[in-house]
Amino acid sequence: MRTISFVKMHGIGNDFVLIDNRYTDIKLSTDDIIYMGNRHTGIGFDQLLFLSQSDIADCDAAYQFFNPDGTQAEQCGNGQRCLSLYLHQQNPHKTSFKLSGLAGIVSSEILTNMQVRVNMGPMKSYHVKEANNQKCYELDFGNPHLVTCVDDVDGCDLESMNKEYTGQYSKGINFEVVQVVSTQEIRIRVHERGTGETLACGSGACAAAFALMQTGDLTSKVKVVLSGGKLMVEYNLEENEIYLTGPAQSVFTGEIIL
């Protein structure tokens, strides 16, 4: 048996277990991750955040994200903010960070009032398509997203809609339903691949906002309201980069026996 230390964190209700493996040699199997992700018999999380040493000289660490079913996710905006806050708490004099991983190098900055601003980089691809006989937007943001607009996000049966809209994706896809409130505000709900509906999703907020910025429905700076709270998404056209700002919070530290 092994005893592994962790930190429980969240970004507007999107909750994480963070394991810092920079100075240890922890190896987790798929079964280990599934066990930890169980909210009844393990710890419970929307995603596991795994930090390790980066092979890139100017990066502070390397990131990996794992879903509760043990599959790996490429990107997580709320997770990036939590990782940045954790590194800041380890070294309070440092307020900017670079992390490397599957979605590339991600830069972040600690602001006031527990707010973290993350440069999520460029949108890798954007396509208008039809799914379930409805207009949708398919985006690659390091991880895949499918976005569709609805009149009332609260009135949606998100679980059923996810099955109807994403069944053609054999490897799964993150699914967002979006309600436009104004040119500067949207409301969304997110069904995350490998997790299910979550209170928040940072990359989903970026994908939804970017899709509707391209149609002219939104300005380049948008408030995104999710079930767990609010995020700000900005698109810098000159840099072709998307910035995500929102809170992050450490909740408790603990140990789990595997």
Candidate list 76, 136, 149, 206, residue with the active-site label: 76
At which residue do the structure tokens 């992050």 appear? 248
From 28, 25, 24, select the one nearest 70 (Cα to Cα): 28
pLDDT at 114: 82
Cα 256 to Cα 74: distance, rounded to the nearest angstrom: 25
pLDDT at 164: 95
pLDDT at 132: 87
pLDDT at 20: 98
Can you list the residues of the chain whose pLDDT is less than 70? none
From 76, 19, 77, select the one nearest 43 (Cα to Cα): 19
Domains parsed from the chain with CATH numbers: 3-116+247-257 (3.10.310.10), 125-238 (3.10.310.10)
pLDDT at 112: 87
pLDDT at 258: 94
pLDDT, tens digit, 9 for 90 and up, residues 157-195: 999 999 999 999 998 999 999 999 999 999 999 999 999
Candidate list 59, 82, 201, 206, residue with the active-site label: 201
pLDDT at 224: 98
Question: Annotated catalytic, 82?
Answer: no
pLDDT at 142: 83
pLDDT at 89: 96
Packed helices 202-214 and 77-90: angle between N→C axes, nearest 10 degrees: 130
Strands 144-149 and 134-140: antiparallel
Question: Annotated catalytic, 149?
Answer: no
